[in-house]
Amino acid sequence: MHELSIVKDIFDTLNDHYDSQIEDVAKVQITAGLLSNVQPVLIQNAFDAFIADNKEYNDIELEVLVNDIVAYCENCHENFEVKYHKFVCDKCSTPSSTIVKGNELFISQVLFKNK
């Protein structure tokens, strides 16, 4: 399960950036594109398992945002949403392999507890 290694990487990043403030983190939001092979349910399960083994992170929540796949049409010079994994422009039916959005995976927001 690669989700557990992703969760470990999330906490490694949090510790690198917020070492002395890690106990003040309330929520971590990650953004995952549909092509990133991250399933929200599986990443949540991996997050919960990691928290269970690392009680110091017990109060931190996870939120997963999923981005649709967006490609660029060279013919129309416009972006279009990829539906049903068909990388074909809605307007002109030209196939495209230029992905604009949808393969990303990153920490998009870290929220801290109000003190």
- Sheet holding 99-101: strands in order across? 78-81, 70-73, 99-101
- Cα(105)–Cα(24) distance, rounded to whole angstroms? 24
**In order of start, what are the domains of the chain with their CATH numbers?**
2-68+101-112 (3.30.2320.50)
Question: What pLDDT does 19 receive?
Answer: 83
Residue 115's pLDDT is 63
Only one residue has tokens 């983190």, namely: 25
Average pLDDT for runs of 10 along the chain of length 115: 89 91 93 93 95 92 96 97 94 96 96 85
| Predicted structure pTM score | 0.84
**What's the confidence (pLDDT) of residue 26?**
95
pLDDT at 1 (0 to 100): 55
